[in-house]
Amino acid sequence: MSDGRPASPEVYRYYQQLLKDHWLENGICWTVVVPDDGKPLALTEIGERVSGGASHTIHEAARFEDDYSDEGAWAVLVGQSGSVTELFEYNGFRGVHPQVLPRLSAGARAYSVYWNVNANNRVSFAADGETLLMVDAMYPERWVHEPNLARWPELMDMAPNFRWRRGKSWRAAALATIELTTGARLSLEWLDQERPYLTCQDPVVD
């Protein structure tokens, strides 16, 4: 790639290795927000957008091993690199929720991938407060009916690697698509670092 980022095959192979025999295969939700003005979102703004204004708590940096499971119905780890914000959930799908992703994309582009142990999944893209694309990663042949598919060229380029019936890894392809689009990389080192996190017991509100 001309901007110095790794090429698509390399990124895809990286995520194949990351997921191999790892618990990440069972379920994650990874959301990356790229603001239009190049200014990173403040933690308070992230909390408002994720919770929809519901009561929520921003916690000091902690490792995943720290027990915060009883502090809220959901917990979201928050990481930032430059202007890009990454949200990670081990057991939930807050980031890809049809009410949350548009809020995260206000004045920005927001990309999210989610799957659970039953292979329920979504790969989604929102911009300027509107969800533009939300597809099932296991059935790329159905994407041709999506009117906004051309607005996510990295997903179109990666589409052959979603074909699990041909031995490909749709999970690796989904993660690779997010990295190729945003430049953010999910790694075990990223997950191992202490990070601020959000918790809330209230349901998502409009």
Cβ count within 10 A of residue 137: 22
Reported as a single tens digit per residue, the pLDDT across 145-190 is 999 999 999 999 999 999 999 999 999 999 999 999 999 999 999 9
Whole-structure pTM value: 0.90
- Main-chain phi, psi angles of 50, to 5 degrees: -70, -45
Phi, psi of 130 (to 5 degrees): -135, 130
Give tens-digit pLDDT for 124-151: 999 999 999 999 999 999 999 999 999 9
Taking the CB of residue 200, how many other CB atoms lie within 10 A of it?
21
